[in-house]
Amino acid sequence: MSRTSSEERSGWLFVLPFTISMALFFVYAIVRTAFYSFADYDLFKAPGFVGLSNYAALISDELFLIALRNTIGFSILVTTVQTVLALALAVLVNHAVRARGLVRTVFYLPSIMSSAAMTLIFLWLFQRDGFMTAIVSVVLAYRHHILLFFVGFTALQGVLVLNARRTYEGVSIFDPFFLLIAAIGALALVGACGLAGLLPVFDNHLRISWLNTQRHFLFMPVTLWSVALMNVFTTVPTLMLLFLAGLQSIPSALYDAAEIDGANAFQRFRHITVPALRPVTFAVVTMGIIGTLQMFDQVAILGDAAPLASRVTLAYYVYENAFPAGASSRIGMASAAALVLGILTIAVVYVQKSIGVRERGD
């Protein structure tokens, strides 16, 4: 027996357990789902072939169209925001010299909480007169103070940097010492104006419906914007770790060489960090798309805390049809919707791979 055929057989033996589980739990399941998507089936009576009726019913079902729109909007928003934030956090943590371990641990904490526990905490934070409303309320009440702080801070920083550049070359606009001085100066200015009664405080008794509302903001229901915030908060830390691993594998010699060539921090980030992280970014974006298109748990836990149309996603629509409250199961509709979700996921990942972030550079 040749060495090659022996190796080939070993290879097959190694993949056999996974092949069996794939065949049972994926191939068999998907074939059954495809079969049921063409059938009228309620879990009990024998499935009857109905052709494309389930797909036709999906297209004419308003809730399905809402779920489709919600899912696509949610996926684009969350994938984009979580990727950018995770990269920014990874860069920040990678540079934090002091207490780096502590910072990483603190940033990673939201990811070790269970999704159910996190959703319940957010349900409390998102009450109409809860914590999130309190933040908005404070920002609105002190909007003049906040505006004056930023204007004062920018002006002071500008004056300090321009003044320093007259004497020394290469003073950064983000010089940390000047930033501290500018912040203290701006705070003093706001405090003085506030005490002099020059800045009015706006009374408001806000009640914001973060979850229990049918309002829309831009392309998505407000409820799903709140769920997106919750989802980003819990997912970003894991993605940050992936980026961090990628950052630490970039040779520091590249940055040293670029610095000698006169590249500034942004140019180093743009031309070294971003291209070197391309394989990690591809993985992060792909996982993000798959995870967000299949969003289920957080909207399911919301339950009656939000109207169905404001929180329904495709994955939840599948569940709603498989186990409708007080009615017979519509397995045909659920299967058709599940297949649409599967095909949509594959298509979006393929489109992303073709025209979005690629695994390797050109």
Partner 1 sequence: MLSRPARALAAATMLLGLPAFAEETVRISGWGGSEVAIVNGLLTNVLAEKLAKEGITVEYEPVDGDFSQFILNGLSAGTAPDLFYVDIFWARSIFSAGQAAPVTQDVSGFAANLLEAFTYDGKLYAVPKDFNALAVHFNKDIFDDARVAYPSDDDTWTTLQQKLVAVHKALPEVDGLCVVPEYARFGAFALSTGWSPFDNQGKTVLDEHFRRAFDFYTGLVKSGAAVMATDAGQGWSGGCLASERAAIAIEGAWIISALRDSAPNMNLGTVRMPKDPESGKRGNIVFTVGWTVNAASKVSRAAAKVAELLTTEEAQQWVLEQGLALPSRTALADDPWLRGGQPEQMASRVVLEGLSDDHVAPYFFGEVGGSWMQPINAALNSVILGEVDADTALASAQSAFDRMLAKQR
Smallest distance, Å, CB 212 to partner 1? 6
Shorter beta-carbon distance to partner 1: residue 209 or 238:
209
Instruction: Write the CA distances from 58 to 52, 55, 286, 337, integer angstroms.
Output: 10, 5, 27, 7
228 by Cβ neighbours in 10 Å (0-12 / 13-18 / 19+) ranks as buried
Helix or strand holding residue 6 (H, E): helix 3-22
Determine contact, residues 112/197, Cβ cutoff 8 Å.
no
Asked if residues 284 and 243 have their Cβ atoms less than 8 Å apart, the reply is yes
Out of 215, 259, 271, 346, the only residue in the binding site for partner 1 (CB under 8 A) is 215
The DSSP call for residue 121 is H
Subset of residues 297 to 356 that bind partner 1, contact rule: CB under 8 A: 304-305, 307-309, 323-329
In whole angstroms, the minimum distance from the beta carbon of 344 to partner 1 comes to 24
**Phi and psi torsions of 216, nearest 5°:** -110, 150
Binding mask 42-61 for partner 1 (x = CB under 8 A): xxxx-----------x----
Q: Segment contacting partner 1 (CB under 8 A): 22-30, 36-44, 73-81, 142-150?
A: 36-44
Q: How far is the CB of 60 from partner 1 (least distance, A)?
A: 8
11 forms part of the interface with partner 1 (CB under 8 A): no
For residues 122 and 139, the answer to whether their CB atoms sit within 8 Å is: no
The residue within the footprint of partner 1, chosen from 9, 207, 270, 271 (CB under 8 A), is 207
H-run or E-run covering 216? strand 216-217
Which of the stretches 86-94, 204-212, 242-250, 334-342 binds partner 1 when contact is defined by CB under 8 A? 204-212
- Count residues binding partner 1 (CB under 8 A): 27
Q: Report the SS3 class of residue 200.
A: coil
127 is a contact residue toward partner 1 (CB under 8 A) = yes
Where on the chain is the footprint of partner 1 (CB under 8 A)? 42-45, 57, 62, 127-129, 207, 209, 212-215, 304-305, 307-309, 323-329
